[in-house]
Amino acid sequence: MRTLIMCLSVLSIAPAMAQDAARGQHLFMADGCYECHGTVGQGGAAAPKLAPDPLPAEAIAHYIRHPAAVMPPYVETLVGDADVRDIQAYLASLPQPKPLNDIPLLAR
Amino acid sequence: MSDTKTSVKRRGFFSAVAVGGAAALTARPETATAQPAPPTPSATPPGAATAAAETKTPHELPLTEGRSGSDYMVDVIKTLDIDYLACMPGSTFRGLHESIINYGGNRKPEFLTCLHEEISVAMAHGYAKVANKPMAVLLHGPVGLQHASMAIYNAWCDRVPIVMLAGNGLDATKRRPGVEWAHTAQDNAAIVRDFVKFDDQPASYGHFAESLVRAYAISVTQPAAPVLIMADSELQELPIEDEPRGIPRLSLPRLPAGDPNALAEAARLLVAAENPVIVVDRYSRTQAGVDTLVALAEALQVPVINKLTRMNMPNQHHLNQTFRARALLGQADVILGIEVVDFWGTVNDLRDLIHREEVHLTKPTAKTISLGTTSVPMHANFQDFQRYQPVDIDIIGDGETSLPWLLEAVKRALPAERQAAIAGRGDKQRAAFKQIQGATLTNASYGWDASPISVARLCAELWDQIKDLDWALTAGESFFQSFWPQKLWKTEKVYQFIGGSGGYGVGYGAPGAVGTALAHREHGRFVVNIQGDGELMCCPGALWTAVHHKIPLLTVMHNNRAYHQELMHVQRMADRRTRGIDRAVIGTTITDPAIDYSKLAQSMGMWAAGPISDPNELGAALRKAIDVVKRGEPALVDVICQPR
């Protein structure tokens, strides 16, 4: 809990920056996020779904620096807070999936 | 004249002819002795006596032969009801090769031309899991055996029978200089002895017959595994004048069932349990095996976790709760493992962290029962037997043979007053299963229109077009496809899913699929292989064999343009070491240039389409390919996919 509070504090005092979804998409690929989560964050056997409806940037930042399970850590010097915000912006920009009834192959 | 005496003269004659023939190309025989010695001879020039011998017809030596040793070897092979023999040709078994195609009429076994020994063995591996009997494989001395070794190891780990023969010439005085020495080993089987169940180097025809028949029986007896018998090159090629003694009749042992008292004890534990769980691994070989497991699960309304190495349990049955494994194991009070190879890894985990951390997935009070043939390793060097896990009841016996007895014991031990509680447990499992099904479909919708194409979309498009056929999925590691076929398709028949390579040795997929498709061919089934791109490049020649032998098979490339599992491993190391996280693609991706798999397949005469990266184009391409396969030919569709 103490760690979480510290991380949230750090993020909250960071200079406000415009979130850049395009840059976030680039980072999502370059930093290897897609390898386990898929290029649109859809998840799979290797890792859970991230998008649509991603966690807030603060929660993502905390988790990737202190992963609870087997996810490898992404330290702040390599994925900074601004990077996380842009990655979150990319994930948030991804559309909701169609309703199942609009996908004939999945409609049951 | 004895065989031995004949063979000495014949071999000597062949050597002389070979050397003389080469000399005749460069010098007239009558002038050879007058020529100065070449400055850098590659072989000793013939002397007068040799030249004379070369130019005269050795009337005392036979030039042709009738029945040969390898004919007898074919007689032995034919007693074993083996339909196919997979082989890349090699000189150490040229005699046997000729006997199979001419003396044996190229029937039972029929020769399958393979482009690498790893392909031969992997084909036999996939075939055996569907045909429920072994294919023969012919290997070329230590050369072919070393090529084949990884595929043999996969089959060993996967408990699959294969009958392998290898040429090898033990008598050093009969080997021609050069290649024949390099292609001989005094103990050839030593190369793979750690992962075959039986091997021998027979020294006579009678010995060959006994050893091959014995090897077959050992191979198919559970736990099944590959076996290897040497076919001595000299024995193959010698003429037979005195017929060897008769071929021993194959006698197959009845498979061992578990101890009845232990089964009764296990039944009492299962009946009394509040939250029992069944975990099933390399269990089902027949539909009867599947049906018995379903009956046992239904008798107790106990959820089943399939390790996905065999079909084992219909995936749409409400008691198939494979994708709730962690939750079920966490609350289990009795766990029955059937043919579970890795029991420790079933009830524990070892997290992939810098300091690997053990995680116990079950309650300390949970009782464990192991039923199967997996708890006693046959060899110790290779560690596929996994970590040691003590269990409360360890029952040694073949799973399929033992399970009917366990089912009967459960029925006898089940008091009427437990029926209501068991029915209630079934209702809970139905509700949980329905919830999983709903979540599965929702999860499949994420990334539905993405490019690269999501693996869920790929599998849904494929299922839509094969679901009304008598279909079978083959080869491949389910994890690489995020288990989407196991989640989205309806699997009911034992042959519809047969698991992966066994030893996780990359290369099995394509040839394993071709062998599997061959076994399905006589039943007219439609066979699909979802094929990893990196893996295909280990044994791409398997595609040619499918075309050459007209084996209908749809190969759908799961082309993520990487050795993606390794990419994730390297990424993990880079993340831990914080020296940069954007270069894990070096050495792990297959780009620049990207491989065009449709052109690769087309180059071997196969119908192919792709690469396809637009999900909206996938259905049409699959439809065309399916039409080709329905006509009895193999086809390939290259699909640019998401990593997992």
Residue-range domains of chain A with CATH? 23-95 (1.10.760.10)
Sheet holding B304-306, edge to edge: B304-306, B276-280, B334-338, B367-372, B393-396
Whole-number pLDDT of residue B178: 95
B382 touches chain A (CB under 8 A): no
> Which residues of chain B neighbour A46 with C-beta distances below 8 Å?
482, 568, 643-644
Whole-number pLDDT of residue B57: 59
Whole-number pLDDT of residue B173: 96
Contacting residues for B126 by C-beta, under 8 A, at least 6 apart = B474, B475, B498, B508, B511, B512, B513, B514, B515, B516, B517, B519
Task: With a cut of 50, list the residues of chain B below it in pLDDT.
Answer: 1-38, 41
Q: What dotted CATH number matches B446-640? A: 3.40.50.970
A68 touches chain B (CB under 8 A): no
> Which residues of chain B neighbour A70 with C-beta distances below 8 Å?
351-353
- The radius of gyration of chain B from alpha carbons, rounded to an integer in Å, stands at 29
Q: Kindly report the three-state secondary structure assignment for every residue of B315-349.
A: CCCCCECHHHHHHHHHHCCEEEEECCCCCHHHHEE
Whole-number pLDDT of residue B243: 87
Residue B602 identity (one-letter amino acid): Q
Whole-number pLDDT of residue B53: 59
Helix (H) or strand (E) holding B526: strand B526-532
Closest-CA distance, A92 to chain B, in angstroms, reads 14
Whole-number pLDDT of residue A5: 41
- Main-chain dihedrals φ then ψ at residue B368, nearest 5 degrees: -125, 140
Best mutation target among B355, B434, B448 (most A Cβ atoms within 10 Å) is B448
Q: Which option is the CATH number for B260-436: 3.40.50.1220, 3.30.565.10, 3.90.230.10, 3.20.20.150?
A: 3.40.50.1220
Residue B141 has, within 13 A of its CA and on its CB side, a CA count of: 20
Residue B635 has, within 13 A of its CA and on its CB side, a CA count of: 21
Q: Tell me the CA distances in angstroms from A84 to A38, A56, B574, one per residue in order.
A: 17, 10, 18
Across the interface, whether the CB atoms of A38 and B351 are under 8 A apart is answered no
B361 touches chain A (CB under 8 A): no
Best mutation target among B457, B466, B581, B591 (most A Cβ atoms within 10 Å) is B581
Whole-number pLDDT of residue B43: 55
Q: Where are the beta strands (DSSP E) in B3-114?
A: 84-87, 110-113
B569 touches chain A (CB under 8 A): no
**Strand, coil or helix: B109:** coil
Whole-number pLDDT of residue B45: 59
Cis peptide before B46, with omega less than 30 degrees from 0?
Answer: no
- Least CB–CB distance from B450: residue in A39, A46, A79: A39
CA distance B135 to B123: 9
Q: How many CB atoms lie within 10 A of CB B388?
A: 8
CA distance B151 to B589: 24
Cα three-residue angle B354-B359-B363, rounded to 5 degrees? 175
Whole-number pLDDT of residue B245: 85
Whole-number pLDDT of residue B1: 34
CA distance A22 to B367: 54
- B440: nearest CA partner in chain A: A106
CA distance B183 to B442: 57
Q: Tell me the CA distances in angstroms from A26 to A15, A39, B203, one per residue in order.
A: 22, 10, 67
CA-wise closest residue to B386 among B282, B285, B269, B286: B282
Across the interface, whether the CB atoms of A36 and B443 are under 8 A apart is answered no
Across the interface, whether the CB atoms of B446 and A49 are under 8 A apart is answered yes
Burial class (CB in 10 A: 0-12, 13-18, 19+), B460: buried
Is B297:B319 a contact under the CB 8 Å cutoff? yes
- Main-chain dihedrals φ then ψ at residue B305, nearest 5 degrees: -110, 120
- B439: nearest CA partner in chain A: A100
pLDDT-based confidence at residue A70 (cuts at 50, 70, 90) = confident
Is B500:B508 a contact under the CB 8 Å cutoff? yes
Find residue B526's DSSP bridge partners: B471
Q: What dotted CATH number matches B69-237? A: 3.40.50.970
Contacting residues for B103 by C-beta, under 8 A, at least 6 apart = B68, B70, B71, B74
Please check whether the two domains, B260-436 and B446-640, share a CATH topology.
yes
B212-226 burial string, b = 16+ CB within 10 Å, else e?
bbbbbbbbbbbbbbb
The single-letter DSSP state of residue B134 is P
Closest-CA distance, B642 to chain A, in angstroms, reads 6
Domain limits, chain B: 3-55, 69-237, 260-436, 446-640
Closest-CA distance, B429 to chain A, in angstroms, reads 20
- Least CB–CB distance from A49: residue in B443, B480, B572: B443
Q: Where are the alpha helices (DSSP H) in B483-596?
A: 484-488, 509-521, 533-536, 541-548, 564-577
Chain centroid to Cα B472, Å, comes to 16
Find residue B140's DSSP bridge partners: B167
Chain centroid to Cα B508, Å, comes to 7
Helix (H) or strand (E) holding B624: helix B615-630
Q: Kindly report the three-state secondary structure assignment for every residue of B421-474.
A: HHHHHHHHHHHHHHHHHHHHHHHHHCCCCCCCECHHHHHHHHHHHHCCCCEEEE
Whole-number pLDDT of residue B46: 60
Is B84:B109 a contact under the CB 8 Å cutoff? yes
Contacting residues for B57 by C-beta, under 8 A, at least 6 apart = none
Across the interface, whether the CB atoms of A100 and B441 are under 8 A apart is answered yes
